[in-house]
Copies of this chain bind each other. A is one copy, B any other.
Amino acid sequence: MSLIPVGILHSPYKNISETPRWGTLSDEEATIEIFPEYEEALDGIEKYEMLDVLFYFHQAKRDLLKVKPPHSDRLRGVFAARSPHRPNPIGLTAVRLLGREGRFLKVKNIDAVDGTPVVDIKPHKD
């Protein structure tokens, strides 16, 4: 079970400490660059206002089973949290699509650092 990067995030957040915990807390714009060999997979994406973006948190710790969320003083299981630290460090963010230029998507509501690998994009489902 292996993943391949299909793109990369260009985000205003250069490190984790300045990255918002929730993308909806942020109005900053970011750009998702899809690699040329996958550009065709974007066909028709313009009609969606909201997208689910799957990231691979390459800096996450995969051996943590419990974390303490910032707003809490109790440990909880990582499957009951959206921490990047988890056995499979896949991040899921619902982003607002502002526009597309070729293989570049301008989006809002990002909560991942600059340079994070993108592994998938899907139309968001409410």
Residues of A that sit less than 8 Å from B by CB = 1-6, 22, 34, 38, 40-45, 47-48, 52, 54, 56, 58, 65-66, 75-82, 86-88, 90, 92, 94, 117, 119-123, 125-126
Whether B123 contacts A82 by the Cβ 8 Å rule is yes
Cross-interface CB contact of A79 among B78, B79, B121, cutoff 8 Å? B121
Whether A117 contacts B1 by the Cβ 8 Å rule is yes
- Oligomer: number of copies: 2
Whether A86 contacts B120 by the Cβ 8 Å rule is yes
Q: Specify the main secondary structure of chain A where it touches its partner.
A: mixed
CA distance A122 to B66 in the complex (A): 13
Q: Which of A4, A88, A126 has the most B CB atoms < 10 Å from its CB?
A: A88
Please name all residues of chain B whose beta carbon is closer than 8 Å to the beta carbon of A80 when the two chains form the complex. Answer: 41-45, 47-48, 123
